[in-house]
Amino acid sequence: MHIHRVLPRSISMIIKTMRIIESSSLLFLLLLLLLIAATLFSLSLGANDTLTLSQPLSDADDRTLISAGSKFVLGFFTPAAGSAGNRYVGIWYNNISEHTPVWIANRDRPVTSRSGRLSLTTNGTLILTDDKSTVFWSSDSPAVPLANPVARLHDEGNFIVADDSGSVAWESFNFPTDTVLPGMKVRLNLTSGQIGNITSWTSDGNPTRGDYVTGFDLDGDPQIFTWKGKKIFWRGGPWNGYIFTGIPEMRSEILHFEFIVEPQAVVFSYSVTDASVISKFTISYAGILQHLLWVEGLQAWKQYGFTPRDECDSVSPCGPNGVCDPGQETIRCTCLQGFQAKNGTNQYLGVWSDGCVRKTTLDCRNKTDGFLQQSSVKLPDTSRATVDWSTSVSQYQCMERCLANCSCTAYASANISTAGGGSGCIIWTTDLTDVRLYQGGLGQDLFVRLAAVDLVLEVEAHERSHKRRAVVIISVAAVASIFLVAGGACGVWRRKKRQKGGNFDEEKEVKEMDLPLYDLGTIVDATGNFSPENKLGQGGFGPVYKGTLGEGKEIAVKRLSKTSAQGAEEFKNEAMLIAKLQHRNLVRLLGCCVQGGERMLIYEYLSNGSLDAFLFDETKSKLLDWPTRFNIIVGIARGLLYLHQDSRFRIIHRDMKAGNVLLDKDMKPKISDFGMARIFGGEESEVNTRRVVGT
The percentage of residues in the chain with a pLDDT greater than 70, rounded to a whole number, is 78
Summarised one tens digit per residue, pLDDT across range 114-125 is 999 999 999 999
Instruction: Name the phi and psi angles at 576, rounded to 5.
Output: -65, -45
Say which amino acid occupies 301. Answer: W
* 203: number of Cβ within 10 Å: 14
pLDDT winner (highest mean) among 113-122, 487-496, 565-574, 647-656:
113-122
Summarised one tens digit per residue, pLDDT across range 305-363 is 899 988 899 999 999 999 999 877 666 899 999 999 998 777 777 789 999 999 999 98
pLDDT band at 503 (very low <50, low <70, confident <90, very high): very low
463 pLDDT above the threshold of 70: no
DSSP SS3 for 644: helix
Considering the domain delimited by 507-680, tell me its CATH architecture: Orthogonal Bundle (1.10)
37 pLDDT above the threshold of 50: no
CA–CA separation, 444 and 467 (whole Å):
27
Give the burial string for 329-367 (b: 16+ CB within 10 Å, else e).
Answer: eeebbbbbbbbebbbeeebeeeebebbbebbbebebeee
678 pLDDT above the threshold of 80: no
Give the burial string for 602-637 (b: 16+ CB within 10 Å, else e).
Answer: bbebbebbbbebbeeeeeeeeebeeeeeeebeebbe
CB neighbour list of residue 602: distance below 8 Å, 6 or more residues apart: 516, 518, 523, 555, 556, 557, 558, 589, 590, 591, 592, 593
pLDDT band at 53 (very low <50, low <70, confident <90, very high): very high
pTM listed for this prediction: 0.63
> What is the arrangement of strands in the sheet containing 194-195, beginning at the earlier edge strand?
194-195, 186-189, 265-272, 255-262
**Mean pLDDT lowest among 442-446, 469-473, 569-573:** 469-473
CA–CA separation, 379 and 387 (whole Å):
13
What is the mean predicted confidence (pLDDT) over 432-442?
89
- pLDDT at position 593 is 87
Higher pLDDT, residue 437 or 457: 437
* 530: number of Cβ within 10 Å: 18
Give 86-115 as a DSSP string. -BEEEEEESSSSS--EEEESSTTS-BSSTT
**Mean pLDDT lowest among 399-403, 467-471, 678-682:** 467-471
Average pLDDT along the chain: 82
- pLDDT at position 329 is 66
6 pLDDT above the threshold of 90: no
- pLDDT at position 34 is 53
460 pLDDT above the threshold of 80: no
- pLDDT at position 539 is 73
- pLDDT at position 420 is 67
480 pLDDT above the threshold of 50: no
Pick the CATH number of 176-309 from 1.10.150, 3.40.50, 2.90.10, 1.10.287: 2.90.10
Known catalytic residues?
655
Summarised one tens digit per residue, pLDDT across range 368-380 is 899 999 999 999 9
CA–CA separation, 433 and 322 (whole Å):
7
Give the C-alpha distances (Å, rounded to integers) separating 476 from 18, 472, 473, 480, 535.
108, 6, 5, 6, 42
CA–CA separation, 246 and 235 (whole Å):
7
**Residues 417/427, Cβ–Cβ less than 8 Å:** no
- pLDDT at position 652 is 80
Considering the domain delimited by 49-175, tell me its CATH architecture: Orthogonal Prism (2.90)
Summarised one tens digit per residue, pLDDT across range 63-88 is 999 999 999 999 999 998 778 889 99
pLDDT band at 291 (very low <50, low <70, confident <90, very high): very high
pLDDT band at 499 (very low <50, low <70, confident <90, very high): very low
- pLDDT at position 657 is 87
pLDDT winner (highest mean) among 190-194, 513-517, 664-668:
664-668
Summarised one tens digit per residue, pLDDT across range 380-396 is 999 999 999 999 999 99
CA–CA separation, 284 and 494 (whole Å):
52
pLDDT band at 656 (very low <50, low <70, confident <90, very high): confident
Higher pLDDT, residue 170 or 45: 170
pLDDT band at 215 (very low <50, low <70, confident <90, very high): very high
